[in-house]
A and B are shown apart, each in its own frame.
Chain A
Amino acid sequence: MAFLELEKLTKSFGSHNAVDGLTLGVEKGEFVALLGPSGCGKTTTLQMIAGFVEPTSGAIRLGGKDLLAMKPAKRGLGIVFQSYALFPHMTVAENVGFGLEMQGVAAAERRTRVGETLELVGLGAFTTRFPRQMSGGQQQRVALARALVIRPQVLLLDEPLSNLDAKLREGMQIELRQIQRTVGTTTILVTHDQAEAMALSDRIVVMNQGKAEQIGPPHEAYERPATPFVANFLGKTNLVNGATVRPERISFSTVGLAGTVRTRIFQGNHWLYQVETGSGLVTVIRQNTGEAMPGEGDGVHLAWEGRA
């Protein structure tokens, strides 16, 4: 039996099923990502676990106990909201200490734990700042510290990095992963960014219209997508003569499917090609190794595993 279990979890708004019979088991210490396009029911799922949305049917169990019978304030979960939802009238230390105060932790211990957690997220020197006086990335860390300091049974993250710019996001991904490893908290991340989900999680749940299309390790889902939706959502795919082929698996060769390069785009570490062939337009991604590559208008042959 898994640590956190969702069983046939369903939420309807009127006649529309936002979440539709979702079943999922999360092991203790595991990092699971709910991945899917906007409106597929990720946030609704998270809010049902948190207790802010009541399921239409289904069950949620944590450590074998019925979570739905518990009030949201009693569930002891750590939540990081997309907007961070920091308390603007409280300092960083007061924000992070709020949960401990609610638990009745004495002031001295509270100070120690707040300090430790802020060190963990790299904000040891910012205790007396107000949220307004901090950058987006720093606010994000405060929100994370506020959720972690109560030593939650489960950490719920709703698009925690989507308000950061691309560079900062990558840095925070690595840091988030390290922090989660350090504290070992069972974590559920909601995101629409497949790269983020694959980079961070032990397993991903690819969701579409309230249903889980595939649950598995990122590599497995990428290599062996259960449905065309999963294949498309996790990365670029080509459909050549009824077979799906990832663009990075296709190489230029002297034999194979003949075609003409229509566009060539340089993207730093790789080249992105669109090749006109007898079986339609094929996308090809080649590593940039510094060697000369075919140019636009050149005739090429395409080869990939399982086909010469």
Chain B
Amino acid sequence: MKAAPYLLCLPALVLFAGVVIVPLGMTVLLSFHDWGQYKGIEPVFILKNWQEVLGDSYFHEMFARTFRIAFFVTLLAAVFGAPEAYILNRMRSPWRGIFLLVILGPLLISVVARTLGWALLFGGNSGLVNKALMGMGLISAPLPFMFTETGIVIALAHVLMPYMVLAVWASLQRLDPQIENAAVALGAGPFTVLRRIVLPQVMPGILSGAVIVFALAASAFATPAIIGGRRLKVASTLAFDEFLNTLNWPLGAAVAMLLLAALVAIIWGTNRLVERRYAQVFA
């Protein structure tokens, strides 16, 4: 019988359905329910929440902010993470292990603890970062970091950097160890080797790292909540507020579902692009 493989898959499928599909379906349903200050949640089918989320400029601004932050976090992570991975990959035996631990170590520490660290560094006009920048003469007046998008971007980029480093590092490991020598022997200088030989080959790694970082940045909660404070809302902190403060669960569900749908669309689109672009080359 051919049923055995399916039967063996069954427990995992049941678990998957139980913890992912069912709650997700319930959230979708929830987003179509009505809610009132005094009547609470009413299990009816209306489009009010979706109309509000899609039509109100407050939500437009909030989603724009969410994806703007995610975009700059991804950019920052790529600009710093890719070279970091390259340098890491060129290190010799003991150092490579040590620095890999230094880079991945933060993953072992709670996001909240790491973000509070940044809050301390940024904090007020006498924060360490501002003191250092002014001390070096780079700025004359303190820059606002707390409760700004800049602050959120910097802290999130730090928190999510390891994912980019890991993705790029994985693609660097697949490089032929002699490929740079081959280019050098043909007369290429160090910069040409990086731009023409190494970068195109790790591009799929950078893109897959970017997808992970973007998704995590757009749905991040703790960092925007701590650095952004109560006024600078992003999608996840807003959904959280609707659920726990306003108690307008249906509206929160609509926000959460829209974020999910947008992320799925972006990730799927990027994957299609990567696959079509690199199918021939890296089959």
Contact = CB atoms under 8 A, between A and B. Distances in A.
Interface of A: 50, 52, 72-79, 81-83, 85-89, 98-99, 102-103, 130, 132-133, 146, 150
Given A52-B181, A102-B188, 15 more contacts: A52-B184, A72-B181, A72-B185, A73-B187, A77-B185, A78-B185, A79-B181, A83-B176, A85-B176, A85-B178, A85-B182, A99-B186, A132-B283, A133-B280, A150-B186
Interface in B141-178: 176-178
A283 B192 CA distance: 57
Of residues B178, B183, B200, which shows the largest number of chain A Cβ atoms within 10 Å of its Cβ? B178
The 9 A-B residue pairs whose C-beta atoms are closest, nearest first, are A102-B187, A99-B186, A85-B182, A85-B178, A89-B200, A81-B178, A79-B185, A85-B179, A85-B176
B114 to A, nearest CB: 37
A83 B280 contact: no
Contacts of B283: 132
Contacts of A72: 181, 184-185
B197 interface: yes
Contact of B178 (A75, A83, A103): A83
B192 A102 contact: yes
A89 B187 contact: no
Contacts of B182: 79, 81, 85-87
Contact of B184 (A73, A146, A150): A73
Nearest to A143: B182
A202 to B, nearest CB: 24
Of residues B177, B184, B188, B283, which shows the largest number of chain A Cβ atoms within 10 Å of its Cβ? B184
A89 B174 CA distance: 13
A72 B186 CA distance: 9
A52 B184 CA distance: 9
B281 interface: yes
B186 A132 contact: no
Nearest to A87: B197
Nearest to A98: B186
A99 B181 CA distance: 13
Contacts of A82: 178
**Interface residues of chain A: helix, strand, loop or mixed (majority):** loop
B282 interface: yes
A86 B183 CA distance: 9
B197 A103 contact: no
Of residues B179, B186, B200, which shows the largest number of chain A Cβ atoms within 10 Å of its Cβ? B186
A73 B280 contact: no
A150 B283 CA distance: 29
Contacts of A130: 280-281
Given A85-B178, A87-B197, A89-B281, A98 B185 contact: no
B189 interface: yes
A105 to B, nearest CB: 11
A211 B283 CA distance: 43
Contacts of A132: 280-283
Contacts of B201: 88-89
A98 B177 CA distance: 19
Interface string B18-53: 000000000000000000000000000000000000
Given A85-B178, A85-B181, A73 B188 contact: yes
A89 B183 CA distance: 13
Interface in B183-205: 183-189, 192, 196-197, 200-201
B132 to A, nearest CB: 40
A81 B181 contact: yes
Of residues B184, B187, B282, which shows the largest number of chain A Cβ atoms within 10 Å of its Cβ? B187
B94 to A, nearest CB: 15
6 contacts: A52-B184, A76-B187, A78-B185, A79-B185, A81-B182, A99-B187
Interface in B216-246: none
B178 A98 contact: no
Contacts of A146: 186
Contacts of B184: 52, 72-73
A83 B187 CA distance: 19
B282 A88 contact: yes
